[in-house]
Amino acid sequence: MKMQDNLPLILGIESSCDETAAALLTRGADGEPIVLSSVISSQDEEHRPFGGVVPEIAARAHVKKIDHVIDQAVLASGKSFSDIDAVAATSGPGLIGGVISGLLSAKGLSMSLGKPLIAVNHLEGHALSPRLAAPCPFPYLLLLVSGGHTQLLAVRGLGQYERLGSTVDDAAGEAFDKTAKVMALGFPGGPAVERLAAKGDPKAVKLPRPFAKTDHANFSFAGLKTAVARAYEASDKSDIAKANIAASFQSAVCDVLFDRTANAMNLFQKETDEDGPHRFVIAGGVAANRAIRQSLETLCLENGFTLTAPPMKFCTDNAAMIALAGLEHYIKGNFADLDVAARPRWPLDSDAAAANPASGFGKRGPKS
């Protein structure tokens, strides 16, 4: 893919939760995005003693790291600050202290460089992230599944999102983290549970599948979290018991995502004029779970959808997806004023957010 000198160069900044990230992105002569650099500084060590993300600690870590991360991203790209055409930053939703840190840095760079500022919705970054690796034309059905968000959305174009289903309480990723914390598996919880689940029997522990067989596309994970905690307390707490609980929990999450997404596929097909196969996209940190991906691949085959997912490195929070969303808005001239505010909540679909299920607030931040 050849890069032309006159194509826009976007700096993306992400700081909505516990990853401090910066990336530079442009597009090739064929219009496809080119990631020139992507730098992520993890806060795992800061939060590990607490078994989860502590908002105040996260905010301080972002302030400490963000200038260095941005400098590293620019250096790794082979470009200079003067080459940048616009600065894109997450301005919500997320942990407000972290969002403010990244947005203030972006505002400072925008002013000093004399370049436009683009305020990016973190969820839109995830929604567009599959396009970082391969063409993914609109429309498509999106399952956004992470530590703070679990939603099913019809993505019809930039800024055109219809929520078909959402969690009524906790996010799937939060349930993974809680399961890991209950069994003292360490932080981050999702990968720890997945590794342990590979050693267990997914049928060993009977766990609920919330909303199973109901005719909507909403999710609930609070009851599953509670059931896991009770199962662990009733167990002998041996390594085998932990592995069986992890495997049974992961199987339950796979079943819930399978069942709810199947309903959303029916809704999407009814509302989409184009002939199949339709496109189904999974994004967010939980999309890195291989068992979940395999389950959803089966669902796609059964329902006439093709599955697209970002590479693993772009599933979790990253700045390349923010830069990509920034590029799309740059092309359309969608710029923000310097007084744009950081937002702890910012739903992609405002109409759906005002209706049930109302968005909740999880331990890793707001869900929309």
pLDDT of res. 315? 87
Mark whether 321 and 219 lie in a shared domain: no
Dihedral, CA of residue 64, residue 67, residue 70 and residue 71, to nearest 10: -120
Look at residue 20 and tell me whether its pLDDT is greater than 80: yes
Mark whether 146 and 253 lie in a shared domain: yes
Mark whether 90 and 66 lie in a shared domain: yes
Q: Which residues of 216-249 are buried (b: 16+ CB within 10 A; e: fewer)?
A: ebbbbbbbbbebbbebbeebeeeeebbbbbbbbb
In tens, the pLDDT along 337-367 reads 999 999 999 988 865 455 544 444 444 444 4
Question: From the centroid of its chain, how far is CA 345?
Answer: 15
In tens, the pLDDT along 145-195 reads 988 889 999 999 999 999 999 999 999 999 999 999 999 998 889 999 999
Cis check for the bond before 55: say yes or no (omega within 30 of 0). no
Mark whether 277 and 327 lie in a shared domain: no
In a domain, 91, yes or no: yes
HSE at residue 339, side-chain half, CA atoms within 13 A, is: 0
In a domain, 354, yes or no: no
In a domain, 352, yes or no: no
Mark whether 127 and 144 lie in a shared domain: no
SS3 29: coil
Mark whether 179 and 271 lie in a shared domain: yes
Quickly state the pLDDT bin for 43 (edges 50, 70, 90): confident
**Nearest-CA neighbor of 133 among 4, 328, 313, 322?**
313
Mark whether 125 and 147 lie in a shared domain: no
Place of tokens 């940190």: 285
Cis check for the bond before 310: say yes or no (omega within 30 of 0). no
Q: What are phi and psi of 192, to 5 degrees?
A: -65, -45
Mark whether 96 and 158 lie in a shared domain: no
Place of tokens 């690796």: 133
Of residues 241 and 42, more confidently modeled: 241
Q: What angle do CA 268, 270, 271 make, to 5 degrees?
A: 65
Mark whether 251 and 319 lie in a shared domain: no
Alpha helix positions (H), the chain? 44-47, 55-77, 96-113, 122-128, 172-182, 189-197, 222-234, 239-271, 290-303, 320-332, 350-353
In a domain, 364, yes or no: no
Mark whether 71 and 192 lie in a shared domain: no
Look at residue 294 and tell me whether its pLDDT is greater than 80: yes
Q: How far apart are the first and last CA of the chain?
A: 35
Q: What is the mean pLDDT of residues 4-9?
A: 76
Report the distance separating Cα 171 and Cα 358, nearest Å. 13
Mark whether 228 and 263 lie in a shared domain: yes
Least confident of 107-111, 155-159, 185-189, 213-217: 185-189
What are the Cα distances from residue 118, in Å, to 68, 156, 179, 232, 302? Answer: 21, 21, 37, 46, 40
Q: Which amino acid would we find at residue 252? A: A
In a domain, 358, yes or no: no
User: Domain tally for the chain?
Assistant: 2
Report the distance separating Cα 153 and Cα 261, nearest Å. 10
Q: What is the mean pLDDT of residues 242-257?
A: 98
Domain containing 91 equals 10-131+314-346
Residue where one domain finishes, among candidates 309, 332, 357: 309
SS3 287: helix
pLDDT of res. 118? 98
Query: What value does the mean pLDDT of the chain take?
Result: 91
pLDDT of res. 350? 65
In a domain, 366, yes or no: no
pLDDT of res. 351? 53
Quickly state the pLDDT bin for 210 (edges 50, 70, 90): very high
In a domain, 355, yes or no: no
Of residues 326 and 365, more confidently modeled: 326
pLDDT of res. 155? 94
**What are residue 140's DSSP bridge partners?**
155
pLDDT of res. 30? 86
Of residues 302 and 363, more confidently modeled: 302
Residue where one domain finishes, among candidates 282, 309, 336: 309
**What are residue 245's DSSP bridge partners?**
none
Quickly state the pLDDT bin for 5 (edges 50, 70, 90): low
Q: How many residues does the chain have?
A: 368
pLDDT of res. 95? 93
Mark whether 210 and 261 lie in a shared domain: yes
User: For position 202, which CATH number holds?
Assistant: 3.30.420.40
In a domain, 54, yes or no: yes
Report the distance separating Cα 284 and Cα 315, nearest Å. 5
Contact predicate 254/278, CB 8 Å: no
